Amino acid sequence: MNDELNSKHFMLEKIKDGIYAAISKLGGGAVGNAGFVDLGDVLIVFDTFNTQQASKDLRDIAERITNKKVTFVINSHWHGDHIRGNQTFKDLPIISSETTLAKMKEIHPPRIEKQKADLDGLNQYIESLEKQLDDEDGDLKLQDQISFLHELKRSLPDLELVLPNETFLKEGTLTGTKRSAKWFTLGGGHSFCDSMLYIPEEKVIFMGDLVFVQCHPTFFDETDPKKWRGILKEVREMDIERVIPGHGPIGMKEDIDKMIDYITHLLSIQDIENAEIPPLFSDWSSSEVYFENIKRIHTY
């Protein structure tokens, strides 16, 4: 790929002609995945990353590749690594579910205000990690963490929370000159409300954080594992071949099944203290998250 189409924040992967996934790079300002779809006369961006510098690259590259201007943006859910880049698209319609908008309004303003007010604290933390890195002589995971924190620091002074300006209750559809798109939610699973973008003619679905590929998914206080599993079971009945997850590389339909198996496994654990990662998930990254998930899921 041409250098002008590269970003230090994400790796761009072509799914089909006019359909691209932007897979986050470790240490960059993206954190979560995003993507864009050219419907022929309409260009949709799905999610906007964790920083405005990452989302600026996304918009620039999407418009350069398609030779079109972005028409509108869809936010999958309220978590910052999927919406904090919205300000790059503040001149456009930004669409989310009604619940996602409500949670963004409620939760993000105090969080962002607190981060902006504590830049000195962030600087001190970065310096402490850099000293630790010198002592540990090249820990790659620590290097990635420091690199990400520098991206966060870079974003904060000018960061502006841009909320969705259009909402939907259950779904929306649009037929373009090349293909159609359906954005929809089946309720909350990973977050309070999780939305997806489905391109039926191409059998491609952007699933946000409902699917993680080759990495342990993150559970939160708001997560409802049984509803999450139910959503996945419903989606897997759709005509799908390629799955763009919220985190991890591009997946296939069987990665939905793996997520169902993962949640089922967590729900079945009886002995929390002696639990071990089963072979099916043993090569997934972020193994420490598995043990956090066990504790969290059994306190619901």
Q: What is the pLDDT along the chain (300 residues), one digit of tens a residue?
A: 555 678 999 999 999 999 999 999 999 999 999 999 999 999 999 999 999 999 999 999 999 999 999 999 999 999 999 999 999 999 999 999 999 999 999 999 999 999 999 999 999 999 999 999 887 666 888 999 999 999 999 999 999 999 999 999 999 999 999 999 999 999 999 999 999 999 999 999 999 999 999 999 999 999 999 999 999 999 999 999 999 999 999 999 999 999 999 999 999 998 888 899 999 999 999 999 999 999 898 876
d(CA 22, CA 250) in angstroms, rounded, equals 10
Task: For residue 110, tell me if it sits in a domain.
Answer: no
Task: For residue 31, tell me if it sits in a domain.
Answer: yes
Task: For residue 182, tell me if it sits in a domain.
Answer: yes
User: What would the two tokens of residue 195 be?
Assistant: 């939305």
Instruction: Tell me the residue type at 23.
Output: I
Task: For residue 151, tell me if it sits in a domain.
Answer: no
Total of domains in the chain:
1
Instruction: Tell me the residue type at 140.
Output: L
Contacts of 70-74 spanning 24+ positions with Cβ under 8 A = 70/36, 70/43, 70/44, 70/45, 71/42, 71/43, 71/44, 72/42, 72/44, 72/45, 72/166, 73/44, 73/45, 73/46, 73/48, 74/44, 74/45, 74/46, 74/47, 74/183, 74/195, 74/197
Task: For residue 172, tell me if it sits in a domain.
Answer: yes
Residue 146 is predicted with a pLDDT of 96
Q: How many residues does the chain have?
A: 300
User: What would the two tokens of residue 267 be?
Assistant: 């729900």
Instruction: Tell me the residue type at 170.
Output: K
- Beta strand 94-97 pairing with 72-74: parallel
Task: For residue 137, tell me if it sits in a domain.
Answer: no
Report the CATH number at residue 18: 3.60.15.10
Task: For residue 224, tell me if it sits in a domain.
Answer: no
Task: For residue 215, tell me if it sits in a domain.
Answer: no
d(CA 207, CA 196) in angstroms, rounded, equals 5
> Which residues constitute the domain of residue 248?
3-103+161-204+242-253
